[in-house]
Structure 1
Amino acid sequence: MPEVRQEYKMHALPAVFLMEAMLSDEIVNDLNDYLDDLLNQENRVSHAGTLVGQIGNGEQLTMDHNHPKLGKFNELIQIMGADYVKNFAGSTVNPFKENRLVETDELWSVHSYAGDYNPIHDHGTKTLMGISCTCWTKVPQQIIDQPTSGTSEYGLYNSSGHSDGCITFSYGQGSLMDTERLRPPQMVIMKPEVGKFFMFPSWLQHMVYPFQGDGERRTVAANLNVWRVADDGTKH
């Protein structure tokens, strides 16, 4: 007797879209040159008052996104922000009734050393629709050498330290029994790399684990406003 078969399709029901890219060496070098100079300035401004990062050994600094050295990076994140909004609308088949304008709201750096971490949090912007992004311009070698989440070498048992220095994006509740319940993962762990860039909606909760050993994990992050633009050009 022939096997009974039926054609079908599976629908993935997304909770969030995460954009990933690799920055050019030129932009990474521009960011590092700017930050190396900023770290030597006595009048540098701390951004820690608006951040939850527990950075006891390093610093969190306000960056001037209008600085000439940051021109290419600032232009890039605004273009990618517009692409993110465009891709969201296309993926959800839900076009916006008004045009949208993406503008950088704030930009900052996080200079993390051993023991520094970021507890779970989200971001805020001046607009209801907001976008955030993060990237790395320096990563300690011991983090780079760790197995990548999702590979057969990766695991968290026996104090492996495989998540040290990594960022986790959380978009739902998870449990050890999720696989047996046919429940997809509700979080993703990403290992930092020099030049790696992530963009996401500002409401997406995320955390950064501490690491051990020498070296600086240098992060550059931004929040972007997404303004609604009326026919007369006014934004709101």
Structure 2
Amino acid sequence: MNDLEILQPFGPSIAKVSIPKEIIDSMNNYVDEILKDNKKSEILDGGYKLAGNVTQEFRLEGDFMKKIKWIDFLALSVQDWLLKKTEKKIKKFDLIASWVVRQFKNEYNPIHFHGGHVSGVGYLKVPDNMGKTVQKDKKNRNGNLVLVHGSHQFLSKSIFTIQPKVGDFYFFPNYVMHTVYPFTDTEEERRSVSFNAYVDQDIVGIV
């Protein structure tokens, strides 16, 4: 993954990569087809297990993920990230689950963390305009992802804010707390995809 960028705004590192356009298109088409099938939408619904107060969250099917090489993309990106940070190559990438989040105006994802060892989120659709701030001259965080780790200290940030862009994917350790702010003034969908996975325990244990 030649475009992988390591970000370290606080203690744990974060990796940023670009999702290949063919995967974005395949995943959006897949989601749009599922939305036409109420029975399948209900079967794949994962909202009851997830933190979001959003319109819909559903699991991606294993066969579909293999077909579009989604698991390969995740595994290779994680391997590249951890190799650069630990100088060790993972031998195991066990995907626990990957799911799509469909968020619309006034909805949000409360602060939470994930299971497994590594997690991540990327963007399939982002509204052109996510609304204004109530007060003028305030930085607009509408629809942003916020990662939180530790507490604010001198020369040590505890908050990293990400403005979503289609195709951007961020990897982070499962324990990093995160939240998504609501947005307003649009009927457009904010569509993201996330995952949890296990990797080699001996690499996770490296300090």
TM-score by length of 1: 0.73
Aligned in 2, Cα 1:14/1:161: closer, same or farther, shift over 3 Å? closer
Q: 1:225 is aligned with what amino acid? A: Y
Pair 1:53-2:49 in alignment: no
Pair 1:217-2:190 in alignment: yes
Aligned to 1:108: 99
Pair 1:30-2:26 in alignment: yes
Q: 2:198 is aligned with what amino acid? A: N
Deviates more, 1:182-191 or 1:60-69: 60-69
Distance 2:184 2:67 in 1: 31
Q: Secondary structure at the match of 2:106?
A: coil
Deviation at 1:101, TM superposition (A): 0.4
8 Å Cα contact 1:31/1:69 also seen in 2: no
Gaps spanning 5+ residues in structure 1: where?
A: 1-11, 147-154, 230-236
Q: Secondary structure at the match of 1:160?
A: coil
Alignment of 1:56-205 (within 5 A): 58-67=55-64, 70-90=67-87, 100-125=91-116, 130-143=117-130, 158=136, 160=138, 162-174=140-152, 182-205=154-177
Q: Secondary structure at the match of 2:23?
A: helix
Q: Which runs of 4+ in 1 moved over 3 A?
A: 155-161
8 Å Cα contact 2:10/2:157 also seen in 1: no
Distance 1:76 1:40 in 2: 27
Distance 2:9 2:98 in 1: 32
8 Å Cα contact 2:92/2:199 also seen in 1: yes
Aligned to 2:3: none
Deviation at 1:84, TM superposition (A): 2.3
Aligned in 2, Cα 1:35/1:185: closer, same or farther, shift over 3 Å? same
Gaps spanning 5+ residues in structure 2: where?
A: 1-7, 203-207
Count of paired positions = 191
Identical aligned residues as a percent: 23
User: What do residues 136-174 of structure 1 show as CA deviations (whole Å, max 9, x unaligned)?
Assistant: 11000014x99xxxxxxxx99647361000000111213
Aligned in 2, Cα 1:156/1:17: closer, same or farther, shift over 3 Å? farther
Deviation at 1:88, TM superposition (A): 2.4
Distance 2:11 2:144 in 1: 21
Q: Secondary structure at the match of 2:25?
A: helix
Deviation at 1:227, TM superposition (A): 3.9
Q: Secondary structure at the match of 1:80?
A: helix
Aligned in 2, Cα 1:223/1:13: closer, same or farther, shift over 3 Å? closer
Deviation at 1:105, TM superposition (A): 1.1
Q: 2:159 is aligned with what amino acid? A: M
Q: 1:216 is aligned with what amino acid? A: E
Q: 2:146 is aligned with what amino acid? A: T
Q: 1:50 is aligned with what amino acid? A: K
Q: Give 1 or 2 for the bigger CA radius of gyration.
A: 1
8 Å Cα contact 2:126/2:164 also seen in 1: yes
RMSD between aligned alpha carbons? 2.6
Deviation at 1:13, TM superposition (A): 10
Whose helix proportion is higher, 1 or 2?
2
